[in-house]
Amino acid sequence: MASLDRVKVLVLGDSGVGKSSLVHLLCQNQVLGNPSWTVGCSVDVRVQDYKEGTPEEKTYYIELWDVGGSVGCASSIKSTRAVFYNSVNGIMLVHDLTNKKSSQNLYRWSLEALNKDSSPTGVIVSNGSDYDREQFAENPVPLLLIGTKFDQIPENKRNEVLTRTAFLSEDFNAEEINLDCTNPRYLAAGTSNAVKLSRFFDKVIEKRYFTRDPSQMTGFTDRKRFNFKSLHYD
């Protein structure tokens, strides 16, 4: 049971966008009835069949680490959050489709998670032109962009919002999914969303277990302070 291989995926995003509901939906296949603030980090596990339907099918555990908080919070909270960013194999960036600022903050979130070795307050990026698109093009960690509260956008604004998110997904070199976390039908088997999701998980598993390039082992430089022989994630 516990001998299955595992991968670690971070779920990042502003406070209140729906990360806990999303994680609950992905792992329990149920809608979360009473969402409340996440203090610290909450983890849930999804059992995923890699390459389902083919002879190479194998089951993996996908750990979804839902890290709470906002980008603009105190540096003490940021440095404490950073312990969760160890040896991450994939990142899901979640934003609220009804709130533009939450998608703008995703640049800062991704840099905070990917640049752990920079100063504790992280690299502050105020708009898209300050960061390097090439950084994300050759980024070894697969990203997935998820927009929530899709049902709350009125019909006439949908195109505008979808164009905006298309730009975002280009910037991050990532696929995008737009859904409503309180309605399981967006991720029903056979929908394009479900296909994109399993493609993302497959990519994460592949990067972790099937491309044994030593320079890209974990995708991050390990934190020099930690010497985790006893808690090695391999």
Partner 1 sequence: MSFLVDSVIMFTSQVLFFGFGWLFFMRQLFKDYEIRQYVVQVVFSITFAFSCTMFELIIFEILGAMSSTSRYFHWKLNLYVILLVLIFVVPFYIGYFVVSNIRLLQRQKLLFACMVWFTFMYFFWKLGDPFPILSPKHGILSIEQLISRVGVIGVTLMALLSGFGAVNCPYTYMSYFLRNVTDSDILALERRLLQTMDMIVSKKKRIAMTRRQMYQRGEDQNKQTGFWGMIKSVTSTPPGSENLSLIQQEVDALEELSRQLFLETVDLQSTKERIEYSTTFKGKYFNFLGYFFSIYCVWKIFMATINIVFDRVGKTDPVTRGIEITVNWLGIQFDVKFWSQHISFILVGIIIVTSIRGLLITLTKFFYAISSSKSSNVIVLVLAQIMGMYFVSSVLLMRMSMPLEYRSIVTEVLGELQFNFYHRWFDVIFLVSALSSILFLYLAHKQAPEKQMSL
Give least dist CB 61 to partner 1, A. Answer: 5
Question: Pairing state of beta strands 41-50 and 58-67?
Answer: antiparallel
Judged by the rule CB under 8 A, the positions of this chain that interact with partner 1 are 1-2, 4, 6, 14-16, 27, 37, 39-47, 61, 63, 70, 72, 74-77, 79-80, 83-84, 86, 96, 98-101, 105, 225, 231
Kindly provide the b/e burial profile for residues 6-21, where b requires at least 16 CB atoms within 10 angstroms of the residue's own CB: ebbbbbbbbebbbbbb
Give least dist CB 3 to partner 1, A. Answer: 10
Contact of 59 with 5, CB cutoff 8 Å: no
User: What is the SS3 assignment for 62?
Assistant: strand
In one letter, which amino acid is 88? V
Give least dist CB 179 to partner 1, A. Answer: 18
Give least dist CB 231 to partner 1, A. Answer: 6
Q: Which is nearer to partner 1, 35 or 139 (CB)?
A: 35
Give the span between the Cα atoms of 2 and 5, in whole angstroms.
8
Q: Which is nearer to partner 1, 72 or 184 (CB)?
A: 72
Candidates 198, 199, 202, 158; CA nearest to 180 is: 158
Q: Tokens 């044994």, residue?
A: 212
Q: Which is nearer to partner 1, 46 or 58 (CB)?
A: 46
Q: Which is nearer to partner 1, 63 or 171 (CB)?
A: 63
Give least dist CB 42 to partner 1, A. Answer: 7
Q: How many residues does the chain have?
A: 234
Q: Which is nearer to partner 1, 63 or 206 (CB)?
A: 63
